[in-house]
Structure 1
Amino acid sequence: MTTLHSEPTAEAGRSMLRVVFYAAILFSVFQIVTSAFSPISSTVVRALHVGFLLLLTFLLYPLRGGQSGPTHVLTKAVGFIAIGLATYHWVFEADLVQRAGELTDADMAVGVITLVLVFEAARRVMGLALPLICLGFLGYALFGEHLPGPFAHRGYGFDQVIGQLAFGTEGIYGTPTYVSSSYIFLFILFGAFLEQAGMIQLFTDFALGTVGHTKGGPGKVAVVSSGLMGTINGSGVANVVTTGQFTIPLMKRFGYKPAFAGAVEATSSMGGQIMPPVMGAVAFIMAETINVPYVEIAKAAAIPAILYFFTAFWMVHLEAGKQGLKGLPKSECPDPWAALRLRWYLLMPLIGLVYLLFAGFTPMFSGMVGLALTVVLIFGAAFAGRLNGTSLRILFWIVLGLACSAFAKVGIVSVMAVIGLLAVLLVPRKDGRATLRIAVQALVEGAMHALPVGVACALVGVIIGSLTLTGSATTFAGYIIQLGSHSLFLSLVLTMLTCLVLGMGIPTIPNYIITSSIAAPALLELGVPLIVSHMFVFYFGIMADLTPPVALAAFAAAPIAKESGLKIGMRAVQIAAAGFVVPYMAVYAPELMLQGDKGLEATAYVVFKAALAILLWGATVVGYFRSPMSPIERVLAFAAAALLVVAAPITDELGFALAALVIATHLWRARRLAPVTL
C-alpha cells in the first residue's frame, strides 16, 4: 500500500513546490512592475502585496507554525482565498472610495476574514507574541469604553473598527505596508540578487584577507563580513544564518568558546540593521513616518554604526588576547585585492545605489536603479559572451547603454547606466543558463525573505489603526512627558525598558512602530531632536534581539554554535555594551548623530569621548587590556568610561584624568610583568 501511494504523494509534493516557486516569482515580478511603472493605485498595490504574503505563508507554513514544512490542502486553499480577497480591493476600488465609511455586508465579510488571516499568518511565521499584543489593541478599540478612568475611550462600533483596520490607510494597509510594498521589497530583492551573484563570497574573502591573520582573526572576520553583509540586506537574523554558517565554526576551530563565537556573530549581524547605506526595514519606515529623506536617517546612523562595530571588533581583540588566540596562517588567507579584482563588478550597483540616495533621489527610485544595474551586470556577462569579437561586444553595450539612458530620462542615471554597462566588458562571462538560474533563484529568495517582514508590517497596522482611532497614544505619551518634566533620564530608561520588553516577543519592525507611536513623540516634546528620538527607539528595538531571555539573533546562532541561546545572549549583551550607551549619548550630545548646529569640532569631540569610553568598557567587561586587569583597575576603568558618557559639568575632565591614570598605570604594570627575552 505504501508503494501505491508514495508516487502520487511525491508527485503532489513536487506540484506544490512548483506552485510555491511560480507564486514567489509572480510576487517579485509584481513588485518590480508596480514599483517601476505604477500601473495601479497605491491602495491596490498594498492590498495585493498583503494578498501575496498571505498566499505564500499559507502555502509554506503548517498549522502548528514555526519553520516552513508540509501544509494541509485546506491551508493551501486558504492561501488562494486570501489572494482572492485582495483582488476585491482592485475590482471594487471605485465603489469602496465612494462609500468610504459605509461598509456593505460584503465589505464586512472581506474585512473580517482578511484580518483573521493576517493574524493567523503572523502566528505561523512569528509565533503567538505579536498576534496576542495586536489582539489586545484590537480588543481595546472594540471594548475600551468599559475601562475605568483615563484609560476609557468614547466607544466605536464594530463596523467603524473594521473600516479603520481593513479598508483605511491606517490599518493593515497603512504606512508599514506601504513601505514594505515599495522600498523594503526592492532592497530585499536587491540583496538577494547580489547574494546569488556571489557577494557573500566577495565579502568573506575580503574579510579573511584583511583581518584573518591578525590576533583573534576568525572573530574579526565575523565582525567585518557581517558588517559588510549588512550594507546590502539589513537583516540581522538573515546575516546570522548566512555568514554564521562559515564564521562560527571557524571561530570555534581556532579556540573561541561556542557561546562567545555565537555572540560575536549575533552582535555583528544585528548591527547590519543600523549600517548604511542599506539599513534595516525600520529605517525606511522611519523616514516615511517622520517625513524626512532616507539619506538623513542614514547620516544620523553612520557614526553610531561605526562605534557599534568598533565595539564588537575591540571585544573580539581583547578576548583573543585574554585567551591567547592567534589568527589564521597567512598562507590560508585569500588575497583581498585578488577577490576584489575577481568580483569588483558586484560593487557597482551598491556604489550606484549609495550615490543616488545621497544625491537626493527617493529610496524607491534608487532601489530600482540599483536592482536594474545588478540584473544588467548579471545578464550582460552572459549575453556579451555570445557575441564574437570585442568590437561587437562594445557595440552591443553602447547600444544597450544608450537605450537605458533614454529610458532613465535622468542625466546622472544615464551616465551611470552607460558606464556600468560598458564596464561589464571586463566582467567574467558566464553560461546563459547558469545566469538565468541565478536570476530566477534571486526572485524566489527575495519573495521568501520578504515574508516575515511583510507579515509583521501588515499586522502592526492593527496597533496603529487602534491608536489613531482611539487616540490612546497621547495618554501614554502624557505619562512619559510628566515623568520627563522631573527627569529626562527616567523617561529614557522607561522608553528603553518598553522597547526591550516588547522585543522579547516581537521583531524590530513592530517594536519600533509601537514605541515610536507612543514614546518618540513624548521624547520630542521633552526637547530630544526628532531623528534622535526615533533612533533611540530604533536602537533599543535592535538590542532587544540580543537581550535574554528571548534573543532572536542569539537563538538563530545557537544551532550553528551548538550552544544554549541564553548563554549566547548573555555574551552578546557584553559584546554590544556600546549599543546600550550610544543612544543615551546621542540624546545628551546630538552631534553624535550629526544633529544640532555645533559643527564638526563638537562631533569629533563627542566621537573621541565615545571611542575612549568603549575602549575602557571593553577592558572592564573582558578583564584584559595589555595584560589581565586587576579588580581595582576594572572598577576605575568603568568609572572613567561612565564619567565620559555623563553630560554634566566637569565630568569630562574627571573622566579624561581618570582614564589617563588607569591606562598609564596598567601599561606600566603590564610592562613590568612582561617576560624578559634574551
Structure 2
Amino acid sequence: MDEKKRKLVEELIKEDTGDVRILNKYEHALVMFVGVSWAIFQLLIASVWTLDSTFARSIHLAFAMAMIFLSVPFFKKKKIKALPFLSQREGIPIMDYVFAAIGVATALYITVEWNGISMRMGSPSLTDVVFGVALVVMVFEATRRAVGPALPAVGILFTIYGFLGPYLPDLLAYKGVTLDKYVSQLSLSTEGIFGIPLRVSTNIVYLFVLLGAMLDKAGAGKFFIDLAFAGLGRYKGGPAKSAVVASGLTGLVSGSSVANVVTTGTFTIPLMKKTGYPATKAGATEVAASINGQLMPPIMGAAAFIIAEYVNVPYIAVVKAAFIPALVAYITLFYVSHLEASKLGLKGLPKEELPNAKEVLKNGFHYLIPITWLVVELMVLRHSPAMSAFRTIIILIFVILYQEIMKVKKEGATFADAIKNSLKLTAEAFVSGSRNMVIVALACASAGVVVGLVATGIGSMITELVDAMSHGNIYLLLIITAMASLLLGMGLPTTANYIVMASLTAPVIVTIAQNYGFFVPLMAAHLFCFYFGIIADDTPPVGLAAYAAAALADADPIPTAVQGFIYDMRTAILPFMFVFNPDLILHHITSWPKIIMIFAMAVLGSFAFASALQGWFLTKNKWYEIPFFLFTSWVLFNPAGILHWLHLPTNMKYYMYFIGLGVFALLYLEQKMRIKSKPAMAA
C-alpha cells in the first residue's frame, strides 16, 4: 500500500473515531478528562446511581456535544484562507470552546429547569424557546461534524415541512406545527431529541460500545483474526473464509463497518491477494463481511436495543428474531468465498504460514471470558442488557489487569507497573469508547427530531402517501421502502438510518399490508428497515467501508463497492423472505426441531440464491440452470409461496421443502455428471 492510500486509511479511521485534531498536552488532557468522565458517569448510572431518565439523557447528550466540538473542526477537509480556524486541526480554536459550552448548556437546560418546564408544559417561556431552538441547532451542527450533512439535512427538511404543512397542496398538506409546539415537542419533552433513541443510547448502547472499545484496546481483535486463520487458513480460499469469520467475531462487539474493515482487513486483504484473489474481490469480501458484522447479535450495531423499544418486546426477543437471518447471511458469505475460490482455482495458505491454534488459544483464552460471561448474563440468567454489559465490563477490567500482570512477569517488571499499565489502558479504552459513542449519541438525538415531528401528524400523511404510491401492492411497497433505506443510508450511519426509516415506514408496512389482507409482524417490518440500512453502507457511490477496503487492497473504490454490493445481494433477499415467511424470524415458533429445520432450509435456500448470482455451483452454471436455482431458493425460503399454485391447504406448507430439496438435488446430480463427462469428452 503506497503512502497516499495509507494516509487515506488513516484519515478514514480518524473520521470514524472522531480523533481528528492534533492536541497539545493540556488539550489532550481535557479531552481525556471528558471521555473518562463520560464513561464513569455511564458506569455509575448503570450500577449505584439512581438518576431520572430524562436527566441522564440530558447529561449523556452534553458529553457527546463536548466531545465532538473539542475533537472535530467545523470543516474536516475544506480550508478557508480567510477563516483558517474553521478547519484548524492543530489545537482547539476559541470558537469550538464556545460551541462546546453552548452545546453543553442547551443539552443540560432541561435538567436545570425541569421543574419550571413541567409547570408550563405546552406553553414555553421565551427562555425555553431560545434554549430549545438553540438545542436543535447545536444538535444538527454536532451531528454534521460527526456523521456528515445528510442527517441534519433530513431533520431540516422535516422542520420546514412541519412549519409549511398547512400551506402545501392537499396531497402533502397536514396541520403543521407552531414554534411553541415545535420547541415543546423536540427540546422540552421526551418525544423528540430526548426520546426513545437517546434513552436507549444512554441506558444501554454506551455500555456495549465501551465494552467493544475495551476488548479492542486489550487486543481481542488480533486474537479473533489469529483464531480464524488458525482454523480456516489452510483450506481453499482460506484467507477469505478467515476474513468472514474474523469480521463476524469482531462484529459481535463492534458497531462500525469502517472500524471492522480496518481492524480485520489490514491482515486479511493482503493474504487474500497473496493466494490469488484479485484486489477488487479481496476488498469486496472484507467489506461484505465487515458490514454484516452489524447483523450479528448481541449488539447489531446498537440497533437491537432500539428495535426492542420500538416493537415493545424484551431484548432477548430481538436476538431470537435476528439470529437465523444473521447466521444465514454469514454462512452464505462463507459459501460465496468458497465459490469464488473454486472459480479462481485457489488454494489455502501453507501450514507454516498460519498461527498455531493451541498457541493462539493459550495466549488469548482470557478474551473469551468476558464474551462468554456476557452471553451467560443475557441468554441464561436473563439479566437486563445494561446490567449484563456493566458486569462484563467489570470482569474485563480484571482481565486487562491479568493480561498486564502476565506481561510484566515476562519483562521482569513489578506488580505496580502492571497496575499502572492496566489503569492507563483502561483510561484509553474509556476515551476510545466515548469517541466511538459520539456518532451513535448524536445520530439518535438528530433522528429524534424526525421522530418527534412524525408524531405531530406527519406519520398518518406518510401512510396515505405510500399507500397511493404502492397502490396497495405489498411487493411494490417493500421495494419502495428498500430503495428509500438504501438512498438514505448512503449518508447516514446504520443506527440513524434505521431510526428514521422505522419511524416513517415500519408502521406503514404493517398497516397497509393489513388493509389488503396480508399479515406482516411488526418485528419483520423493523428488521426489514434495519437490513437495508446496513446494505446501504457499501452501496455505490458512497460506502466509506468500501473506500477503506479499496485503500488496503490497492484497488479502485467504486468497483470494490459494486462487487461488495453484489456479494451483499444474498443479504438483500433475506428481508423480503422473512416478510413473506415470518418463520425465518421464529415468529410464534418455539419447537427446537422446527427451528433447526427452518434454519437448515434457509441456509440451503440462500446457497441456491448465491449459486445463481455467482454463476457457479459445482462448476460453471448453464444459463438454463439459473431459473431452477432461483426456484429452489424461493421454495426453501418460503415453502408456503407455492401452496396456492398447487391448490394445497396451509398445513402442507413444510412438505413443500421436499420439492425445493428435490430440485436442488437434481441440479447437484446434473452438474456432477457434467464434471465427470468433461474428462471423457477431452479423451
**Interval of TM-score (by shorter of Structure 1 and Structure 2):** 0.7 to 0.9
- Give the 5 Å matches for 1:622-641: 622-641=614-633
Q: 2:649 matched to 1:662?
A: no
Q: 2:385 matched to 1:374?
A: no
Is the contact between residue 234 and residue 274 of structure 1 (CA under 8 Å) also seen in structure 2?
Answer: no
Q: 2:419 aligns with which of 432, 443, 446?
A: 432
Q: 2:564 matched to 1:572?
A: yes
Q: Closer, same or farther in 2 for the Cα pair 1:473/1:673, shift >3 Å? A: same
Measure how far apart 1:600 and its partner are. 4.3
Q: Closer, same or farther in 2 for the Cα pair 1:331/1:73, shift >3 Å? A: same
Unaligned stretches of 5+ residues in structure 2:
1-20, 78-86, 410-414, 514-518, 647-655
AA matched with 1:102? S
Residue matched to 1:473: 459
- Worse-matched range after superposition: 597-606 or 99-108: 597-606
Q: Closer, same or farther in 2 for the Cα pair 1:220/1:430, shift >3 Å? A: farther
Measure how far apart 1:223 and its partner are. 0.3
Q: Closer, same or farther in 2 for the Cα pair 1:337/1:278, shift >3 Å? A: farther
AA matched with 1:553? A
Q: Closer, same or farther in 2 for the Cα pair 1:641/1:459, shift >3 Å? A: same
Q: 2:572 matched to 1:542?
A: no
Q: 2:642 matched to 1:648?
A: yes
Once residues 265 and 239 of structure 1 are traced to their aligned partners in structure 2, the CA distance between those partners, rounded to angstroms, is: 9
- Worse-matched range after superposition: 82-91 or 508-517: 82-91
Is the contact between residue 408 and residue 417 of structure 2 (CA under 8 Å) also seen in structure 1?
Answer: no
Is the contact between residue 166 and residue 172 of structure 1 (CA under 8 Å) also seen in structure 2?
Answer: yes
Report the secondary structure of 2:213's partner residue.
helix
Q: 2:677 matched to 1:672?
A: yes
TM-score, normalised by the number of residues in structure 1: 0.87
AA matched with 1:48? I
- Worse-matched range after superposition: 39-48 or 661-670: 39-48
Residue matched to 2:290: 269
After superposition, give the CA deviation of every residue in 1:412-451 in whole Å (9 maximum; x if it has no partner): xxxxxxxxxxxxxxxx998222212211111111011111
Q: Closer, same or farther in 2 for the Cα pair 1:87/1:633, shift >3 Å? A: closer
Once residues 333 and 236 of structure 1 are traced to their aligned partners in structure 2, the CA distance between those partners, rounded to angstroms, is: 26
Q: 2:482 aligns with which of 486, 493, 496?
A: 496
AA matched with 1:670? I
Measure how far apart 1:39 and its partner are. 4.0
Measure how far apart 1:473 and its partner are. 0.9
Measure how far apart 1:602 and its partner are. 4.4
Once residues 23 and 386 of structure 2 are traced to their aligned partners in structure 1, the CA distance between those partners, rounded to angstroms, is: 39
Q: 2:431 aligns with which of 444, 450, 458?
A: 444
Is the contact between residue 298 and residue 304 of structure 2 (CA under 8 Å) also seen in structure 1?
Answer: no
- Worse-matched range after superposition: 172-181 or 376-385: 376-385
After superposition, give the CA deviation of every residue in 1:135-186 in whole Å (9 maximum; x if it has no partner): 0011112221111114222232212201211111111111111111121110
Residue matched to 1:77: 98
Is the contact between residue 307 and residue 578 of structure 1 (CA under 8 Å) also seen in structure 2?
Answer: no
Q: 1:104 aligns with which of 125, 129, 138?
A: 125
Report the secondary structure of 2:253's partner residue.
helix
Residue matched to 2:56: 45
Measure how far apart 1:235 and its partner are. 2.9
AA matched with 1:185? Y
Is the contact between residue 474 and residue 518 of structure 1 (CA under 8 Å) also seen in structure 2?
Answer: no
- Give the 5 Å matches for 1:531-610: 531-597=523-589, 599-610=591-602
Residue matched to 1:392: none
AA matched with 1:659? F
Measure how far apart 1:483 and its partner are. 7.1
Residue matched to 1:407: none
Q: Closer, same or farther in 2 for the Cα pair 1:595/1:671, shift >3 Å? A: same
Q: Closer, same or farther in 2 for the Cα pair 1:153/1:630, shift >3 Å? A: closer
Measure how far apart 1:599 and its partner are. 4.0
- Give the 5 Å matches for 1:375-414: 375-379=397-401
Unaligned stretches of 5+ residues in structure 1:
1-9, 388-427
After superposition, give the CA deviation of every residue in 1:212-249 in whole Å (9 maximum; x if it has no partner): 11111111111010000111223323211211222122
Measure how far apart 1:500 and its partner are. 1.4
Once residues 161 and 134 of structure 1 are traced to their aligned partners in structure 2, the CA distance between those partners, rounded to angstroms, is: 12
After superposition, give the CA deviation of every residue in 1:329-383 in whole Å (9 maximum; x if it has no partner): 1112112233222222221221121122123221111111111111122235657
Report the secondary structure of 1:629's partner residue.
coil
Report the secondary structure of 2:316's partner residue.
helix
AA matched with 1:648? I
Residue matched to 2:14: none
Once residues 176 and 291 of structure 2 are traced to their aligned partners in structure 1, the CA distance between those partners, rounded to angstroms, is: 41
- Worse-matched range after superposition: 658-667 or 302-311: 658-667
Q: 2:393 matched to 1:352?
A: no
AA matched with 1:511? N
Q: Closer, same or farther in 2 for the Cα pair 1:115/1:11, shift >3 Å? A: closer
Residue matched to 2:7: none
Q: Closer, same or farther in 2 for the Cα pair 1:535/1:189, shift >3 Å? A: same
Once residues 549 and 675 of structure 1 are traced to their aligned partners in structure 2, the CA distance between those partners, rounded to angstroms, is: 47
Once residues 57 and 281 of structure 1 are traced to their aligned partners in structure 2, the CA distance between those partners, rounded to angstroms, is: 19
After superposition, give the CA deviation of every residue in 1:503-530 in whole Å (9 maximum; x if it has no partner): 1221211221122112211333322112
Is the contact between residue 58 and residue 76 of structure 1 (CA under 8 Å) also seen in structure 2?
Answer: yes
Measure how far apart 1:579 and its partner are. 0.8
Measure how far apart 1:480 and its partner are. 4.4
Report the secondary structure of 1:183's partner residue.
helix
TM-score, normalised by the number of residues in structure 2: 0.86
Measure how far apart 1:578 and its partner are. 2.0
Residue matched to 2:5: none
Report the secondary structure of 1:544's partner residue.
helix
- Worse-matched range after superposition: 453-462 or 632-641: 632-641
Residue matched to 1:287: 308
- Give the 5 Å matches for 1:59-98: 59-65=70-76, 69-70=89-90, 71-98=92-119
Once residues 316 and 155 of structure 2 are traced to their aligned partners in structure 1, the CA distance between those partners, rounded to angstroms, is: 31
Once residues 482 and 363 of structure 1 are traced to their aligned partners in structure 2, the CA distance between those partners, rounded to angstroms, is: 41
Q: 2:57 matched to 1:34?
A: no
Is the contact between residue 118 and residue 455 of structure 1 (CA under 8 Å) also seen in structure 2?
Answer: yes
Once residues 313 and 286 of structure 1 are traced to their aligned partners in structure 2, the CA distance between those partners, rounded to angstroms, is: 27
Once residues 408 and 358 of structure 2 are traced to their aligned partners in structure 1, the CA distance between those partners, rounded to angstroms, is: 29
AA matched with 1:345? H
